[in-house]
Structure 1
Amino acid sequence: MLPPATPEEVTGLPDAVALIHRFTNTDDRRTFVVHGRRLEANDRLATPADLERWLREHDLPDPGGAAGHTDLARARDLRAALRRALGERGEVLLDLPVRVRLTARGAEPVALGDPVTVALGRIVAAAVTATADGTWRRLGICPAPDCQWVFYDRSRPGRARWCSPHLCGNRMKTQAYRRRTPEET
């Protein structure tokens, strides 16, 4: 089984979770070998043009060529903060202008500002929605040092540790076994 090449290949996630999953995995840290193919870490948000392309591909407000390095830095800071919150299950303070609209169906976050701020605000709003509907706790970061893929735990008890027990789980357990077991000569 090959891992997904991009986060967009992962389907069937709740909408808010899908946006967070795709955004956080633009920092793809996977470097392991699977079926003879070495995965190479890459940052899909390396330039302002990459950010604009990603926003456009994900139906978020398109800055129309106006995104700059400051916008890119803000997007990467948000991505790092979300990854920290997922990995450490700690508290992260996000500083983006977001208001809450109250309707008969419930609360709905609304982002404000220029197109990049609105797009980043929608990602924050997705995190708020995922927290409110309980899907946030099903997001996790694979603890394998050569993976760190953000994944959605589909298991019934919601306690999956690895992005894939067959790939990362097996690799990490095998490595731990080899460290514990002395080599025979």
Structure 2
Amino acid sequence: MTEDVALVLDFLNTVDRERGTDLLDDPVAWDGWLAERGLARGDVDPAGVRATLRAAVGDPVAGVRPVHVPVTASVVDGVPRVVAPDVVGAVLAAASRLVVLGRWDRVKVCPADDCRWAFYDRSRNHSRTWCSMQVCGNRRKARGWRERAARR
């Protein structure tokens, strides 16, 4: 499961609102990302799939569209596996495994407008809101305090 979480989060975080960068816009960086994970490009637009998955985990600015990608179920060394030939299939297979394990609802997007970083909620009661309480959560709390103080 840890590998699935890492792959899904890495894919969702190929866009960085704070820095204003998108790995998918840089073919060399995207190829490096794929090579690091042993994945191949595919025929399906990864940006559209990323937006759909980000919307599914709570990103209010991401768009949703239907995505259909072929995957293969096989048994290797006595273990059933779902495999895919490319990055989009691998990410969707990993996300599907999280759904089957009841862990998909732990993948979340930080609500900070200048962040929107995807993270995995490891809290016992699934209540984590911010990607980092030390950064985004603290900024939001400080902003709220300043606004309340200014109204007084």
Q: TM-score, normalised by structure 1?
A: 0.69
Structure 1 residues 1-185: aligned runs within 5 Å? 14-30=2-18, 40-61=19-40, 74-87=45-58, 93-101=66-74, 105=79, 108-112=81-85, 118-182=86-150
* Structure 2 portions without partners, runs of 5+: none
Rounded to whole Å, the distance in 2 between the matches of 1:88 and 1:80 is 9
Tell me which amino acid in the other structure corresponds to 2:11.
F
Distance 1:88 1:22, change over 3 A: closer
Identity of aligned residues (%): 37
Rounded to whole Å, the distance in 2 between the matches of 1:177 and 1:24 is 31
Does structure 2 conserve the Cα–Cα contact (< 8 Å) formed by 1:98 and 1:109? yes
Matched residues, number: 148
* Structure 1 portions without partners, runs of 5+: 1-12, 31-39, 113-117
Cα RMSD (Å): 2.6
How far the C-alpha of 1:54 sits from its partner, in A, is 1.3
How far the C-alpha of 1:99 sits from its partner, in A, is 3.5
How far the C-alpha of 1:160 sits from its partner, in A, is 0.1
Deviation beyond 4 Å, 4+ runs, structure 1: 102-106
Q: SS where residue 31 of structure 2 aligns? A: helix
Rounded to whole Å, the distance in 2 between the matches of 1:154 and 1:132 is 17
Distance 1:92 1:131, change over 3 A: farther
How far the C-alpha of 1:79 sits from its partner, in A, is 1.1
Does structure 2 conserve the Cα–Cα contact (< 8 Å) formed by 1:100 and 1:109? yes
Once the two structures are superposed, what CA deviation does each residue of 1:86-134 show, in whole Å capped at 9, x if it has no partner? 1169x8632211233478655x32325xxxxx22101110110111112
Tell me which amino acid in the other structure corresponds to 1:161.
T
